Chains A and B, each alone.
Chain A
Amino acid sequence: MWRKRAEIAFFVAPALALLVAFVAVPVATAVQMSLYRWKGFGPMVDFVGLANYVSVLTNDVFTDALVHNLIIVVGSILLQLPLGLAIALLLNRKMWGQGLLRTIIFVPYVLAEVIAGVVWFQLLQPQYGVIDTMLAAVGLQGPDQGFLGTPEYALWTVLVVLTWKYLGLAVILFLAGLQGVPEELYEAAQLDGASWWQVQRRITIPLLGPTMRTWGFLSMIGSLQLFDMVWILTGGGPANATTTMATFLVNEGTKRQNFGIAGAASVVLFVVALVLALAYQRFILSRDSKEDEA
């Protein structure tokens, strides 16, 4: 008996030790930090209760950041779901170059967000960037400060770049889901004289439901943690027009040494993500739970 316990401990201990040292302790420290006014050195002594939370939640920059995150969550799904579905249905037909096409569409997803961001930053430069040049060629003019430099456009521009970057993931996952649709269903529908569009609408898209719902969950969680792309494209500007919860807390923590504020923002980010995840689970994913448990 003791031998079995020792074996279990031997196998599990390294992973648990790593989780404690680099996940549990930092998370607990974030909660602790959020209750103190602390500049990062010496012991935490200046206990301020929930003052940091009040300060974060009444800070317009943070509440705007939360709204920006939510816009990205909803915008990403509204843009990528129809586009991804359309491209997946398109690619699911027999056609020349299908494999190559699938590979190409996945390329942006594999690139680091930073690398994609640096390239797009150059493309989006005002006046001498290629996008403004192309607009000029068809008689349009980009904003004077560029799309990333104009508060009204900046967040939407970030959303477009994120769509470019992550559309491939949706397409690949939807294509994988399409492979799970039994061939017999298509044959039966064709025998009944259903058109291509009827087959997609009545058979394929409903059967793709679980894949789409799970993809939506991943997309939502990713959007709530958005940092890299914003940091590269705008740094959260102009005038905080693209700040996200993550860029807010990194700014407070590293540039201003407001560790208490950063801690409180971390906890709020976690709670927002948890509540949305549970709500998604409860209202959207629960439709799949019966199949999943089988």
Chain B
Amino acid sequence: MSAATIPARTKPAPAGAPRRRKRSNPGGNVLVYAISLVVVAVTLGPVLYGVLGGFRTNAQLAENPAGLPDPWVLSKYAGVLAADSPFWGYFLNSTIIAVVTTAVVVVFGIMAAYPLARYRFRGREALFLVFVIGLLFPATVAIIPLFILITQNYQLGNTWWGVALPQAAFALPMTVVILRPFLQALPAELEEAAQLDGASRIGFFWRILLPLSGPGMVTVGVLAFVGSWNAYLLPLLLLRGDMRTLPLGVADFSSEHSADTAGVFAFTTLAMIPALVFFLAMQKRIVNGLQGAVKG
């Protein structure tokens, strides 16, 4: 378990990149670019086909499925973005649920990781083991009882909290496992200096530890946000009607309007955009987080 390498890992990377540049480039360049083009075409092809499909009419799609928009039609996209379109409601629900999930995961996660990383007490490793064991239980295994408990016992069916809280709960073990070594890696001298200055352990947590663990919190936060934004199974069982999230909206639109292929493409394309923008903005963090998860 060397997740302590996360903070360490993010730093050598920039130094590594220019170093690699020095290596001489063996031949076969044309082949390398040709293969790269194939990879790009296969990777982006389906996505671009969906984007372009939204600019066509169903008649165009039926007549020549592989063609380009001719003429370009904006009505499908406009229809999805119209003020009375359900798209905005789905978008709002997805955003709120992802923000609540992320906030709960980050706040509860850093709080739990702090004593596990920096207090000495009997039973500390046993307590940490509880979180490690939590890693073994994916939401899929408990999905049916979750559905029953949340709707019947907790009275949270068809609400934002009813989806956000269990999502946060299932993301917490990984969060604590990533954050604990991150907090352990902060030098002990910091804590001693803070104590000499009269800070309590809680004061140390607020004024020194929290600001210093920003990068770690951003990493686990981004992972929690993406996980929530893309989640399907739990919202599928819990949310109906106006409470549905974007993935549910996309799936339902696609089956309800199966004859309107162009409309489905437009709706799906617009639903992709938030995740893609978020990814482009947070690319480094997401990749670092995934590497951290693998290292841990």
The contact string, 1 if C-beta is below 8 Å from chain A, for chain B 5-38, is 0000000110011011111111001001101100
The contact string, 1 if C-beta is below 8 Å from chain A, for chain B 129-141, is 0110010111011
- Residues of chain A within 8 A (CB-CB) of B65 are 128-130, 132-133
The contact string, 1 if C-beta is below 8 Å from chain B, for chain A 86-120, is 01001111111100010111111011111111111
**Closest residue on chain A to residue B53 by CB atoms:** A122
**B95 contacts A by Cβ under 8 Å:** no
State which of B29, B115, B140 has its C-beta within 8 Å of the C-beta of A12. Answer: B115
**B279 contacts A by Cβ under 8 Å:** yes
Distance A117 CA – B290 CA, assembled complex (angstroms) = 23
Given A103-B280, A227-B233, decide whether A215 and B32 contact each other with a Cβ distance below 8 A.
no
Asked whether, in the complex, the Cβ of A104 is within 8 Å of the Cβ of B119, the reply is no
**A70 contacts B by Cβ under 8 Å:** no
Asked whether, in the complex, the Cβ of B43 is within 8 Å of the Cβ of A30, the reply is no
Distance A269 CA – B142 CA, assembled complex (angstroms) = 10
Distance A112 CA – B116 CA, assembled complex (angstroms) = 34
Distance A108 CA – B45 CA, assembled complex (angstroms) = 11
Asked whether, in the complex, the Cβ of A110 is within 8 Å of the Cβ of B66, the reply is no
State which of A128, A137, A214, A221 has its C-beta within 8 Å of the C-beta of B61. Answer: A128
Given A111-B275, A112-B232, decide whether A253 and B144 contact each other with a Cβ distance below 8 A.
yes
**Closest residue on chain B to residue A87 by CB atoms:** B39
The smallest beta-carbon distance between A185 and chain B, in angstroms, is 11
**A2 contacts B by Cβ under 8 Å:** no
Q: Which of A15, A29, A137, A266 has the most CB of B within 10 A?
A: A15
Distance A264 CA – B44 CA, assembled complex (angstroms) = 41
A-B contact pairs, 25 of them (CB 8 A): A7-B119, A8-B121, A14-B111, A18-B165, A21-B169, A22-B170, A26-B145, A27-B141, A40-B148, A93-B32, A101-B39, A106-B283, A108-B47, A110-B279, A112-B250, A119-B265, A173-B294, A179-B17, A221-B138, A227-B233, A228-B247, A231-B232, A253-B144, A259-B144, A270-B137
B residues bordering A, Cβ < 8 Å?
A: 1-2, 12-13, 16-17, 19-26, 29, 32-33, 35-36, 39-40, 42-44, 46-47, 49-50, 53, 61-62, 64-66, 104, 107-109, 111-112, 114-116, 119, 121, 127, 130-131, 134, 136-138, 140-149, 152, 154, 165-166, 168-170, 172-173, 176, 201-202, 205, 226, 229-230, 232-233, 236-237, 246-248, 250-251, 254, 261, 264-265, 268, 271-272, 275-276, 279-280, 283, 286-287, 290-291, 293-295
